[in-house]
Structure 1
Amino acid sequence: MDRRYMDARETAAFLNMSLSWVYRDSARCGLRGYKFGSGRNAKIQFEVNEVKRWADQRRMP
């Protein structure tokens, strides 16, 4: 299975949220990212299918 990832900026745009929300609050709300690298150069990425699934779960009735 081919996994595609979005960086934090792309994730924020996809969800129409601020970049600071993605870094600060997304994990608390259940949207967990992946950390690639270490130290100050580490990049936070989000799997596209997980972001879509997370957004679908928040649909209001």
Structure 2
Amino acid sequence: MDVRQVAQYLNMSVPWVYREAAAVGLKADKFGNGSNAKIQFKSSEVQAWVRMRQL
């Protein structure tokens, strides 16, 4: 999942995902360097994080 997909799935803003994802425990994979780097999340990890937060 890319940043926009995660933001939509979580009903959060894109800047929130960039700023807070790591702080709340969402692990992202970064591909590339500098400002052109792409950040991707595993959908299974995002879904597991949501389930964990609902407990």
TM-score scaled by structure 2?
Answer: 0.93
Larger radius of gyration: 1
Structure 1, unmatched stretches of 5+, are 1-5
Q: Alpha carbon RMSD of aligned pairs, Å?
A: 0.8
Q: CA deviation at 1:39?
A: 1.4
The structure in which a higher percent of residues are strand is 1
User: How many residues align structurally?
Assistant: 55
Structure 2, unmatched stretches of 5+, are none
The structure in which a higher percent of residues are helix is 2
Runs of 4+ in 1 over 3 A off after TM superposition: none
